[in-house]
A and B are shown apart, each in its own frame.
Chain A
Amino acid sequence: MIIAERKPIKEIEKMIMPYKKVLIVGCNTCVTICMAGGEKEVDILASSLNLLFKSKHKEIEFIKRVVERQCEKEFVEELKEDIASVEAVLSLGCGVGVQKIVEVFPHIPVYPGLNTKSIGAPEEEGVWKEKCVACGDCILDKTGGICPIARCSKKLLNGPCGGSQDGKCEIDKNLDCAWQLIYDRLKLLGKLDQLEEIIPVRDWSKANDGGPREVIREDVRLKNGK
């Protein structure tokens, strides 16, 4: 899932300051799970902004909506009437959601209310952790199912740096050393010999360095492809 976190309210305040009527749009998918942009968070943000502007003797009217998936056109289109009645949109979706609203409604300003942090998972109540950076060329088969690109702070591919101590990363004592985890897992599987293989340099063109990526399945396309 996508993990996100609300932006500081002061930052949001600056974005919507010029408007009188704003639509706040949450998303029922990932950002609901990570408690950043679901129905509750839309309510909380609207209420916080009401209090903030009240104290500044300014009034902005908020319309609150939550769509099923902000990253899909069909769901975003449901906002048509609401959008016609406001001057701006504040999205509590991930970065994809913001851009999808922009694509469907190009004429209206859309602002991000969240910082999109990572692709990850809920670790425990109230904790979400990054697990994948969508590098486009998975090597989890070589690293015991633990990704060093996402989880080693230096993205090292051939073992831990000299700062790995007691299973923790040198940059933060609360952060697990990915290579310690990899070592432990391969040991558990009796496959420590896998560590001897030198993982070659990466093809970052398969990651975002190659420009925005797309996946195409011709068999399911309705429009004609190339």
Chain B
Amino acid sequence: MEFEPEIVIFCCQYCTEAADTAGASHLGYPANIKLMELPCSGKISIIYLLKAFEEGADGVCVIGCEEGACHFLRGNLRAKKVVEYTQKILEEIGINKERLKMFNLSSLESQKFVQISKEITEKIRELGPIF
């Protein structure tokens, strides 16, 4: 049987609209994806990301608004740095940092949301189970 990865996506409230639109427009995204809504991607923290892996995620990603278009000015830039720092921790503990990624999106791009979720699922499937 093909490995079905568990993916957690931390998504800012505006980007979540893209996911909702995707659902409403019957643009299906993979069922293995757990969507966690944040008020802003800048709310993400190292511990959320690590906990997601601890709780069984094989891959984690953070989606924020396009750079320069954050509704809270720099939240998405902060998220980017938190993701980079957490990637360093993953490397330190021997986990492929490709399992954690940051994407940027606008609330209108439901197609892109579907594409990202497929892309990350494919990538993690390729990498196999985390443990």
Instruction: Let me know if chains A and B touch directly in the complex, using CB atoms closer than 8 Å.
Output: yes
Given A9-B89, A40-B47, 18 additional A-B pairs, CB 8 A: A9-B93, A10-B92, A40-B45, A40-B46, A44-B46, A44-B47, A48-B50, A48-B93, A49-B93, A50-B54, A51-B54, A51-B93, A52-B93, A52-B94, A54-B54, A55-B93, A55-B130, A55-B131
Within 8 Å of chain A (Cβ to Cβ): is B51?
A: yes
Within 8 Å of chain A (Cβ to Cβ): is B95?
A: yes
Residues of A bordering B, CB below 8 Å = 8-10, 40, 43-44, 47-52, 54-55
Q: Which residue of B lies closest to A126 (CB)?
A: B81
**What are 10 A-B residue pairs whose CB atoms fall within 8 Å in the complex?**
A9-B93, A10-B92, A44-B50, A47-B47, A50-B54, A51-B53, A51-B95, A52-B94, A54-B54, A55-B130
| Bound-complex Cα distance A188 to B130 (A) | 60
Among A8, A10, A51, A55, point to the contact of B50 (Cβ < 8 A): A51
A44-B54 in contact given A51-B95, A55-B94 (Cβ < 8 Å): no
Interface residues of B in 76-101 (CB under 8 A from A): 89, 92-95
Total A-B residue contacts, Cβ distance less than 8 Å: 37
**A48, A54, A55 interface centre (most CB from chain B within 10 Å):** A48
Interface residues of B in 45-68 (CB under 8 A from A): 45-47, 50-51, 53-54
Task: Determine the chain B residues whose CB is within 8 A of the CB of A51 once the complex forms.
Answer: 50, 53-54, 93, 95
| Bound-complex Cα distance A50 to B95 (A) | 12
A54-B89 in contact given A44-B47, A47-B51, A48-B50 (Cβ < 8 Å): no
Q: Is the interface of A mostly helix, strand, loop or mixed?
A: helix
Query: Nearest-CB distance from B59 to chain A (Å)?
Result: 14
Once the chains bind, are A8 and B89 in contact (CB under 8 Å)?
A: no
Task: Determine the chain A residues whose CB is within 8 A of the CB of B131 once the complex forms.
Answer: 54-55
Query: Nearest-CB distance from B68 to chain A (Å)?
Result: 21
Once the chains bind, are A43 and B54 in contact (CB under 8 Å)?
A: no
Task: Determine the chain B residues whose CB is within 8 A of the CB of A43 once the complex forms.
Answer: 47
Query: Nearest-CB distance from A33 to chain B (Å)?
Result: 17
Once the chains bind, are B95 and A55 in contact (CB under 8 Å)?
A: yes
| Bound-complex Cα distance A54 to B129 (A) | 12
Query: Nearest-CB distance from B67 to chain A (Å)?
Result: 19
Task: Determine the chain A residues whose CB is within 8 A of the CB of B93 once the complex forms.
Answer: 9, 48-49, 51-52, 55
Q: Which residue of B lies closest to A8 (CB)?
A: B92
Task: Determine the chain A residues whose CB is within 8 A of the CB of B95 once the complex forms.
Answer: 51, 55
| Bound-complex Cα distance A50 to B46 (A) | 14
Once the chains bind, are B94 and A47 in contact (CB under 8 Å)?
A: no
| Bound-complex Cα distance A44 to B88 (A) | 13
